[in-house]
Structures are given as C-alpha cells and as structure tokens.
Amino acid sequence: MAYTGYGGANRKGAFDDNINLVSGPPPPYEYSTSARRSRWDPRGWSRRSLILSVVGIVIVLIIIIAVATVEARNGRYPDYSKLSYQLQETYEGSTFFDNFNYFTGYDPSQGFVHYVDADGSAQMNLTYATSTSATLRVDTSETNAVTGRKSVRIESKNQYNDGLFLFDILHTPYGCATWPSVWLADPANWPFHGEIDVVEAVNQATTGNQMTLHTTADCEMNVKREMTGVVLSTDCLNSTDSNSGCGVQAPDNTYGQALNALGGGVYAMELRDAGIRTWFFPRASIPSDVSDSAATPDPSTWGTALADFPSTSCDIGTHFANQSIIANIDICGSWAGSTSVYNTEDQCPGSCTDFAATNATAFEEAFFEFASFRVYQASG
C-alpha cells in the first residue's frame, strides 16, 4: 500500500468522517461523598455516634485530670524546715511522778487490769523513782488475780499542742499478756483530739516497736513519706479496722529484750503543723544535742526519721490538740489478748486472762524504767 503522509488528502478525509464535534459547556463532574469520606471524619457520623464520642472524650479528660491530681498530691511534701527549740519541761529524778495524774478508771481497751492510784502504787512498789531513773511496773505478787492484775497508767498534768518530745528509756516491758505503751492523747476528748503512739508493743514484742496515729475522719497517709520504718496501714481513722490506726513498724531491736540488751535508747517525737515524725537512737548512737540536756536539739541534723506522718492529707493542727504524755502497761486487752495475736503470733499459752491471773512471776520483766522525759517547744 502506498503511504501518502499525515497531511495527505485521503488521510484527512478519513479523520474528519470519524469525529462528531459537540458544542456547549462541559458536562458536570460527579463526586460521591460516601465513597471518598473517611470513617474517622465526624461529618459522616450519625447523631448517636457523635453523642457517644463526646461522652467518651469527657470521660477520658476526667480520668486524666483525676490521675494528674492524685499524682500531684502524692508528690507533695510538707516543709519540715528547721525550728529553734527551747526546753520547756523536764520529767526526771525523784520527783518524776509528781508531774503525773494516776488513772484509776475503767480500761477503755478492755484490759484485764486494775489501774492503781498514786498512794496504792507507792505502797505496792508499782511506781518509784530515784535520782537517776523512774520505774513503772506490773504487780508480781498476786497469784490469783481473778478480776485483773494490778498495774499503772499515768497521764501528764500538762498538755501540749506541739513540741519536740524526748523519751529516754532504759528498759521496756515485755512478756505474754503485756501491752505497754508511751503515747500522747487528750483522754477527755478521744478520739477528737487524736492519739500519737510513740512506743507500743504486745506480748513477747520480738518484732520491735510500732508507731501509730489514731484520729477522726480525713487523716490519711497514702502520700509521699520520708522514713525508714515499714508502713502497716495508711488510714488513721479510729473506726477503721478495729481502731488499728495508721501504723509504722520499726526494726526488731527498737523494743523489748533486744532493746534492753543495748541499754535502751531515746525516742524523739516531733509534733508540728507540717507533720509528726519519730526517730529512735540506740544508747550507743544518741546525738550530742539529745544526750546533752543543755544543748538545743535540731531534728534537721538527725537524718531520715523512723516514722513520718506528713500533713499532706491530714490537717495536724485540727486533728491533734491538748496532748498529755501517757505511760501505762495494760494486761491482755483488745490487742495483746486477742487469740490471733496472743496464741497464734506470739505463741503464748492458754487464754490470756487465765495466764495473767495466776502467773505472777511471768511479769518480772513487765516494767518501764525511764531516765527522763524532756519537752521542747519552738520559739518565735
């Protein structure tokens, strides 16, 4: 076949015959929104989906804010800045017990005990003091104390809203059926004015000292704390868990036979608006500003506290007031005498009350011996 070229007459005529030219505007462009729109585009959602999405976003925001609030609270810590303390009162020597009232009423802890008054305690030799120490002990003479064993509970005549308290202890009580304690409270207004247990243990007391707060509502310790002790519980409310309080457990050598073998030691408790802290110093490691009564004690130099109860979620000033210093040795009672503690944990024999009634000599180690109590308060 002969090729006539692109512009040949025959080629042009064929091209023109196959084109049907259209005049006028171009046809409209068809766009399908359903085919192009993403499922994440809210413009294509139903009303129900939009409402559910908004509700979900609000819930997520609430959770984020709540978590952030809790984290912020848990990260807060009070200002335990240095205070300048001055000695206000000293309990020591032969007049030690002159500064205390003797409690003789019903034991609020359901103890198997008769608390003896001042004259009776002196006659029975349950309390006595020398120039170097004061002793408070349980009766070891009665062999058939069927209504309860005689003991002593003393309460300081002076009361305190704050301060630094130094308890120099030479010997701590221990033995089956015993429940000794050195603590602070306002007995006439318990639990509204709070309770601070500085020294407390039960029975053989082989697990060391326990420090605890007991309060009304809105005092919790599930916050940042700086201490070496072990947390036992964080809700200080007295009606929680049979009034167990918010406790901190100390090491084995902080109480009982182990502590006595070290010659005792000093417990220091600081009560202030920022919080409540407790330190323990074994006899061989007492700081000079604690051992020297003429010195000014400075807790900021003592290192990390054994127990720390900060004010982060507990208004110390409203939960603790009019605190008396109390020392007593209870017998059996709701803690020491409970079967789970007396028999199971401490392996003590029989029932607590039967043991306490008939085994007088079992209480020969059931005595406190105090070198001194000193109370300091901040100036300015």
Positions annotated as catalytic residues are 195, 200
Q: How far apart are CA 320 and CA 313, in angstroms?
A: 14
How far, CA to CA in Å, does 72 sit from each of 66, 69, 315? 10, 5, 18
Cα separation, 335 vs 178, in Å, equals 10
Distances (CA, A) of 177 to 137, 207, 285, 332, 354: 14, 16, 31, 5, 10
SS3 content of the chain, % helix, strand, coil (to 5): 30, 30, 40
Residue 122's closest CA among 108, 140, 102, 105?
Answer: 102
Long-range contacts of 235-240 (CB under 8 A, 24+ apart): 236/309, 236/314, 236/319, 238/191, 238/195, 238/214
28 DSSP assignment = P
3-class DSSP state for residue 11? helix
Residue with tokens 């335990």: 80
Distance CA 356, CA 261 (A): 25
Whether the link from the prior residue into 191 is cis, omega within 30° of 0, is yes
Return phi, psi of residue 299, to 5°. Answer: -60, -20
